[in-house]
Structure 1
Amino acid sequence: MEGTLFREITAQAGPDLLKPIVGRGLAIGDYDNDGRLDVLVVDAEGAPLLLHNETPAVGNWVQCRLQGTRSNRDGLGALVWVKTEEGKRYLRLCQTDGSYMSASDKRVHCGVGTAKVVDIEVYWPSGQIDVHKQIPTNRIVSLIEGKIRGEGRLS
């Protein structure tokens, strides 16, 4: 079955992927806040390489910027459930780890398909559970532990 599962498309992705580097770290985050995750590769022998995601948008998304009050300030370790109107549920963990000597974006990113609004439940490390209803998609929302604002009115 050689060649039937994968295709080599590195050359089509641009010259940066053809250059050999000594990669020692990788961080994931939304560099330009457009809802598409970008990648930063640390080259031990040179400048970091930003792989800016410029693919066409294929669905809606939401990003949660967590702020703990009883839990740690960054909300690290919090579990975030994102629920769509269609009943789909997505579970995410607030974390920055993942690669050698690198820290990824602490914001919790979730692709939600065609959903226009979502409900978000945050299970904080302190044991606090916050439920945010009817949050519009395609935006970054700030969620502060213990503070629930009116429906769809989170900053």
Structure 2
Amino acid sequence: MLATLPRMTTLRNLIDGVSCDAASGATYDVVNPATGQAYATAPASGAEDVDRAMKAAERAFETWGESTPKARQEALLKIAQALEDRAEEFVRVECENTGKPIGLTAEEEPAAERGRACASTPAPRGSWRDAARVSTSRTTPPGCAASRSASWRR
């Protein structure tokens, strides 16, 4: 019987809502540190990719910054639900990415809980009107950040 090789996953950047490769086209292998086996290829993103992502985030921030606290809360709760719906998949991927055992990874605080905590953080006193919590003022969100998953091991 022939041994089955593990399936390689191709990871891509997500910039401005579009799945894309690194501008250079370069990739690198993502290795499970527990097995030493490559399980995915990832874009070797560079400055051009980060610049495109930051410009997209700045454009998105304009809309997000003008949204009401209620709209932001609804968006965060929707994201938290999507994370919760795929929790088992995220645990599996995190195990492969870090080499940690499934039990240990599954015990960690789920991202969905953190998202719900952010969504339920009360707005500053005096910024809500009536029981429907309709915003009478806009607060400025603190900003955005860039992140590259799995790149710390390169």
Shorter-chain TM-score range: under 0.3
Structure 1 or 2, whichever has the larger Rg, is 2
- Normalised TM-score (structure 1): 0.26
Q: Which has the higher strand share?
A: 1
Q: Which has the higher helix share?
A: 2
